[in-house]
């Protein structure tokens, strides 16, 4: 049996650019199961933290460690951007491409693509160029393209930003199904309702540091700091 790449441990992680500290120092450990929500005001370091965890942000200090070697860990995680990136290919080919990189048998690729087209409700648009999809359809396709590889960990940066209620509901259903299939999810959101619906644990970022973190029940039910209480009220936090 293949061991999990988790837990994920960040030690003294900091990101500085042009004399400005964007993140850190951060010391954090995330366990092997659940959905972690990262919230905080604009500019608080949410996306920078997500990118640092995924290994695409250059660190000024510190280390990000998985339970397996970094190269192996990178192949077993996926990242979906706030604005989905579509290959200039058909919807089906967008799903097929990551499986071709894995050099899976043609029959298995076909079965997985058909399965995911059904899951995201795009069977009838399989031959359509992906760039012509609506915003919600593009985001569903981007998430499906990440999950079709069956990663251990999925990183999501504001996956439902600027989407309507129906699209948000469809994406949340995809994420819940991924959790049921044991994918570990770490995501940022500005939607506190979504955070409460999905989170098993949560992180509050403020001024580039982890200001508060804990289980969802404690985090949302009994925040420990005045700043998190103020954020929940919708106050401006300077």
Each residue's pLDDT expressed in tens, for the chain with a length of 238 residues: 467 899 999 999 999 999 999 999 999 999 999 999 999 999 999 999 999 999 999 999 999 999 999 999 999 999 999 999 999 999 999 999 999 999 999 999 999 999 999 999 999 999 999 999 999 999 999 999 999 999 999 999 999 998 999 999 999 999 999 999 999 999 999 999 999 999 999 999 999 999 999 999 999 999 999 999 999 999 998 7
Query: What is the spatial order of strands in the sheet that 209-215 belongs to?
Result: 77-80, 153-157, 184-188, 35-39, 201-206, 209-215
| Per-residue tokens: 2 | 């293949």
What's the pLDDT score for residue 238? 77
Domains in the chain: ranges and CATH: 8-79+152-158+171-233 (3.40.50.300)
Cis preceding-peptide flag for 7 (omega within 30 of 0): yes
What's the pLDDT score for residue 4? 87
- CA 133 to chain CA centroid, nearest Å: 21
Quick count: other Cβ atoms within 10 Å of Cβ 89? 14
> Is pTM, for the whole model, over 0.85?
yes
What's the pLDDT score for residue 2? 64
What's the pLDDT score for residue 3? 76
What's the pLDDT score for residue 128? 97
Dist CA 206 CA 203 (whole Å): 10
């Amino acid at each position: 049996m293949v061991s999990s790449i988790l837990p994920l441990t960040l030690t003294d992680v900091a990101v500085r650019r042009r004399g400005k500290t964007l993140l850190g120092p951060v010391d954090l450990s995330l366990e092997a199961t659940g959905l972690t929500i990262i919230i905080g005001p604009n500019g608080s370091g949410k996306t920078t933290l997500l990118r640092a965890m995924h290994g695409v942000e250059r660190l000024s200090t510190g280390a990000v460690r998985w339970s397996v070697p970094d190269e192996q860990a990178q192949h077993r995680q996926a990242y979906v951007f706030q604005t989905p990136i579509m290959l200039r290919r058909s919807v089906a080919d967008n799903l097929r491409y990551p499986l071709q990189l894995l050099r899976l048998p043609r029959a298995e690729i076909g079965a997985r693509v058909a399965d995911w087209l059904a899951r995201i409700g795009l069977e009838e648009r399989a031959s359509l160029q992906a760039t012509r999809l609506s915003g919600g359809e593009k985001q569903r396709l981007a998430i499906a393209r990440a999950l079709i590889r069956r990663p251990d960990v999925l990183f999501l940066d504001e996956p439902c930003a600027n989407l309507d209620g129906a699209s948000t509901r469809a994406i949340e259903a995809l994420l819940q199904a991924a959790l049921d299939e044991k994918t570990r999810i770490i995501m940022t959101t500005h939607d506190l309702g979504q955070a409460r619906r999905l989170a098993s644990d949560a992180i509050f970022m403020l001024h580039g540091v982890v200001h508060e973190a804990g289980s969802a029940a404690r985090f949302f039910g009994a925040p420990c700091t005045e700043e998190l209480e103020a954020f929940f009220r919708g106050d401006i936090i300077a």
